[in-house]
Amino acid sequence: MAGHVAVVGATGAVGQEFLSILAERKFPLEKITFLASSRSAGKTVEFCGKQHTIEELTESSFEGVDLALFSAGGGISKKFAPIAAKAGATVVDNSSAFRMDPQTPLVVPEVNPEDIARHNGIIANPNCSTIIAVVPVFALYKENRVERMVVSTYQAASGAGYRAMLELEQQTRDILAGKPAKREAFPHQIAFNLFCHDSAIGSDGYNTEETKMVNETRKMFHDPDILISATCVRVPVMRAHSEAINLTFAKPITEREAREILSAAPGIQVVDDRAGNHFPMPIETSGGDDVLVGRIRQDVSQPDGRGIDMFICGDQLRKGAALNAVQIAELLNGK
Amino acid sequence: MAGHVAVVGATGAVGQEFLSILAERKFPLEKITFLASSRSAGKTVEFCGKQHTIEELTESSFEGVDLALFSAGGGISKKFAPIAAKAGATVVDNSSAFRMDPQTPLVVPEVNPEDIARHNGIIANPNCSTIIAVVPVFALYKENRVERMVVSTYQAASGAGYRAMLELEQQTRDILAGKPAKREAFPHQIAFNLFCHDSAIGSDGYNTEETKMVNETRKMFHDPDILISATCVRVPVMRAHSEAINLTFAKPITEREAREILSAAPGIQVVDDRAGNHFPMPIETSGGDDVLVGRIRQDVSQPDGRGIDMFICGDQLRKGAALNAVQIAELLNGK
């Protein structure tokens, strides 16, 4: 029983999804408080059919709070998550602020649930594209170590928040009306276009989104040696990320073995109908909890039989963010 | 000098691009004839400011024709390309009908121009996603053999023809208006969605588009041993294909070496501005001739230094189809 739950950043795309998921899953709570910057304080949000007024987030907001769900950006988390933890709350933080902090567990319940035990008040929720990838990859990894993974992503607008989803819609309307596409949330046109993820590029040429995939996966797998290369790309899709994943295992693995492991794994739905040409798609993933996995096949470019290819899809706002955080909170509740 | 040129399938998306490119490049010809099935015969097409009536394609259409550009589907090519060749024309065929025929050269001018010399009346134009990939990959391959390539594609609607481009537009309008998306050209919704390429899936789990990438690349490189795995995906983009390509070379290669080779290669424009976060994008590629190459980086998942990652973009209707065919015709002209 979580008792008093605080939601920080309830008006954002992930914040709104927190509310839906807490309600859907009948998350046990006695009291819920909504916190935001002074800009949003005073507005109301609906939760379980009732209107709640958003309170201003201050240093004294967390007195008596048992669980704090943060989704208001790295700056807010950096400042207020330690304050919340000090006040006695357990924080599940959706930002990148604490993910690579050695003192902070980074958890996907299907991967490393045991890591929550060692938390010091803060548990970090991984990056969306990483969460969606590791659910199926770790299911396989447990049976046969993955030595290397090459990932190409097809990431939805939702990963950049509500403004970005609205921008995809507005740009699309404008282009169809023959008007120029206005850019605010994204640096490049997203409608009828795609572009490499617009996070900062490091000296090695990888962008931050790609580096997160490497570092966060290594941390959760407790395997600093797993080799990962990612290319992260934003596509004109609303809210589900897709990923083409090429794996190299320590030992040979057959397509059938991979399929059996994935079919039995929690949080995964295999959608792999070759005759009907029906595989994971964003529109069938949006709003759902599972990571859809399809195109499972022996990699013809690894003749030693150690390669598997697959194509996956997961809802960025749910499993990629809010659902995973609520699942962490459920683990804290001993569920 | 080509003399008398016949264009078979001039009203399709690739056919229309043939006409633009022949005009733009001032392709030397004395006479041009437009051929199509009885359904399109009698319609007119514009070429160099003049209206031309489309004639019905029959077995006697190719008398006196020197060069025949085919883009009317595999069935038409299979039947009429040998007839055209027998009548003395040289056929450049955009369909898949003859690509893997050992008697038929399959040519990308930047890769294997010498192969046109051994033609028997028909030269095949490769598949769009293959052409766009091999231009940069072969530039590197010439200097340092590529042992393995892992490709994920982001393919535009144009690859499935005009109807598919119109369907992307109409579905998008309908969805924005709250109406259901009608599907005709594609089996799945393309607007605000993506799906694995809807070609037939073989017993190995790869679809035909992916298998073409393997077989056509091997044929053009004269290298039956190059290892290739592709995942081909259709995205809601109008007419330029993008591809994330991960390469393994025979010998170590640095990012700088790769960049230098690509910068000097014909048919390529390096667009790789890390500070400005500006890389190849479909909207900047559409209507252009070059394959844009960016995100050139040493693959961190190949610590032996033999890996390079890159992200490329090419116009599907131009370099992916009509432009490559016209370039083949220019080679025939000794240009």
pLDDT 10s digits, A180-230: 999 999 999 999 999 999 999 999 999 999 999 999 999 999 999 999 999
**CA–CA gap between residue A179 and residue A171 (Å, rounded):** 9
pLDDT band at A109 (very low <50, low <70, confident <90, very high): very high
Across residues A156-166, what is the average pLDDT?
96
Element (H, E) at A151: strand A146-154
Check whether B86 has a pLDDT greater than 60: yes
Residue of B nearest to A274 (CA): B201
**CA–CA gap between residue B335 and residue B328 (Å, rounded):** 10
Task: Flag the least confident range among A152-156, B4-8, B12-16.
Answer: B12-16
pLDDT band at A335 (very low <50, low <70, confident <90, very high): low
Mutate to test the interface with B, among A201, A212, A257, A308 (most CBs of B within 10 A): A201
**CA–CA gap between residue B91 and residue B85 (Å, rounded):** 6
Task: Flag the least confident range among A188-197, B6-15, B110-119, B228-237.
Answer: B6-15
HSE value, Cβ hemisphere, 13 Å, CA-based, for A266: 6
Across residues B133-162, what is the average pLDDT?
97
How close is the nearest chain A Cα to the Cα of B192, in Å? 4
Q: Report the complex ipTM.
A: 0.97
DSSP-derived 3-state class of residue B125: coil
pLDDT band at B1 (very low <50, low <70, confident <90, very high): low
pLDDT at residue B58, rounded to an integer: 96
- Phi, psi (rounded to 5 degrees) for B201: -95, 130
For residue B94, the Cα-to-chain-centroid distance in whole angstroms is 8
Does A231 contact B311 at a Cβ distance shorter than 8 Å? yes
Percent of chain A with pLDDT over 90: 96
**CA–CA gap between residue B328 and residue A113 (Å, rounded):** 59
- Contact between residue B226 and residue B217 where contact means Cβ atoms under 8 Å apart: yes
pLDDT tens figures, B200-259: 999 999 999 999 999 999 999 999 999 999 999 999 999 999 999 999 999 999 999 999
Across residues A311-327, what is the average pLDDT?
97
Across residues A118-134, what is the average pLDDT?
97
Alpha helices in A119-207 (DSSP H): 128-141, 162-176
* Sequence-distant (≥ 6) Cβ neighbours of residue A276 within 8 angstroms: none
Check whether B41 has a pLDDT greater than 60: yes
Does A298 contact B173 at a Cβ distance shorter than 8 Å? no
Position A307, amino acid: G
HSE value, Cβ hemisphere, 13 Å, CA-based, for B108: 30
Residue of A154, A274, A303 with shortest CB distance to B235: A154
Element (H, E) at A218: helix A208-221
Does B282 contact A192 at a Cβ distance shorter than 8 Å? yes
Does B154 contact A194 at a Cβ distance shorter than 8 Å? yes
What count of other Cβ atoms lies within 10 Å of the Cβ of residue B178?
6
Element (H, E) at A76: helix A74-86
pLDDT at residue B334, rounded to an integer: 86
Nearest to A280 by CA among A299, B111, A268: A268
Nearest to B188 by CA among A264, A169, A242, A129: A242
